[in-house]
Amino acid sequence: MLDGLDKKTRIFSFSYWKNQCVHPGSVFDPISARIAEDLGFEVRMLAGSIASMTAFGAPDLIVLTLSELAKQAHRICRASNLALLVDADHGYGNALNVRRTVEELETAGVAALTIEDTKLPKAYGSGNNTTLLSLEESVRKMKAALEGRSDNNLTITARTSAFSITNNEDAIARAKAYEAVGVDALFFAGISTKEQIDLLDFNVSIPIFIAPKGEEIIDLTYLADKGVKICLQSHQPFSAAVQAVYATLKALREGTPTSKIKNLASNELMEKVTRSDEYERLIKDYL
């Protein structure tokens, strides 16, 4: 279908991959979203950093606005029916902003979102030091996120980088507190050891997402056994797209004939990702 806002197929249901850990397809626009669906990914993800670059070409410094993120998410959601997980950063402000963020992204059609406890944007004088909000404030932001949704099918995920910023004890304390609030899943960025995975498996009972540091713990069978449902790989598809566009424009600028340009999508692939056959049907039916 051309308008992909079919709630039944977009629900982010952990039962879809019971006893399984999956890699999400990193997407950034409607075409990449359709490619991820066509290739059989179980879920797509729009990262905050990627949204910032695609929305207005800026690095991941929290200069992206909520409205820009929501618009990009909506474009992706309506392009196909595969569930979209959105990195909503810190919710674009305090607990009230978090509530609004959830409302806007739910309206945009996302199936799941993450709210993190990092102190963002970076304060004056903080340099490159990354710090976390207090546990009390973080808990209140998670409560606000839960209150902000009207559709219980929307998965609210609490995200923390405590394993890499503070210590294991703090990470587990935050995990337990967020689970107690009632979030649907926990997301851990910067996790790096099986010891940390084992700690999570022992201390929490809700689904776990991870963005591991390095590749040492990326064993999907092991992770699935430990309650990890989603394991991020990277956001290389956007980098690959940038490189391809740069190389093509550079070649054309330097005088390379169009017939000599390499690595172009075939006509068949272009027709597939633009859903050309469905438009042809609509033309026949209505025009």
Residue at 68 is within a domain? yes
Q: Does 12 or 72 have the greater pLDDT score?
A: 72
229 lies in the same domain as 281: no
Rg (CA), the chain: 20
Going edge to edge, which strands form the sheet with 155-160?
25-26, 44-46, 84-87, 112-116, 155-160, 185-189, 208-211, 228-231
State yes or no: pLDDT of 1 exceeds 50: no
How many CA atoms lie within 13 Å of 117's alpha carbon, on the beta-carbon side? 32
pLDDT over 70 for what percent of the chain?
A: 95
223 lies in the same domain as 246: no
User: Among the three residues 235, 250, 274, which one is the final residue of a domain in this structure?
Assistant: 235
97 lies in the same domain as 155: yes
148 lies in the same domain as 266: no
132 lies in the same domain as 260: no
For residues 223-247, give the mean pLDDT.
Answer: 96
| pLDDT for 16 | 67
174 lies in the same domain as 57: yes
Q: How far is CA 277 from CA 1, 261, 271, 284, in A?
A: 11, 27, 7, 11
Assigned token pair, 253: 């600028």
225 lies in the same domain as 246: no
| pLDDT for 115 | 98
251 lies in the same domain as 280: yes
Contact 109, 148 (CB under 8 A): no
156 lies in the same domain as 228: yes
What whole-number distance in Å separates Cα of residue 284 and Cα of residue 287?
6
What whole-number distance in Å separates Cα of residue 7 and Cα of residue 11?
6
The pLDDT tens digits for 21-71 are 999 999 999 999 999 999 999 999 999 999 999 998 999 999 999 999 999
Amino acid residing at 136: E
Residue at 14 is within a domain? yes
For residues 160-170, give the mean pLDDT.
Answer: 97
User: Among the three residues 235, 250, 272, which one is the final residue of a domain in this structure?
Assistant: 235
Instruction: Tell me the whole-structure pTM to 2 decimals.
Output: 0.94
Residue at 63 is within a domain? yes
152 lies in the same domain as 275: no
Angle between helices 48-56 and 66-79 (to 10 degrees): 90
Asked whether the CA dihedral 67, 145, 234, 11 is positive or negative, the reply is: negative
Residue that has been written with the tokens 């490189």 in this structure: 243
- Full domain range(s) for residue 93: 7-235
204 lies in the same domain as 73: yes
Asked if the bond preceding 59 is cis, omega within 30° of 0, the reply is no
How many CA atoms lie within 13 Å of 197's alpha carbon, on the beta-carbon side? 23
267 CB-contact burial (10 Å; exposed 0-12 / middle 13-18 / buried 19+): exposed
The pLDDT tens digits for 198-211 are 999 999 999 999 99
Residue at 1 is within a domain? no
Q: Which CATH number do you get for residue 224?
A: 3.20.20.60
198 lies in the same domain as 92: yes
| pLDDT for 268 | 98
What's the domain count of the chain? 2
Residue at 2 is within a domain? no
Give the rounded distance of the alpha carbon of 119 from its chain centre. Answer: 19
User: Among the three residues 193, 219, 235, which one is the final residue of a domain in this structure?
Assistant: 235
What whole-number distance in Å separates Cα of residue 112 and Cα of residue 86?
6
Residue at 278 is within a domain? yes
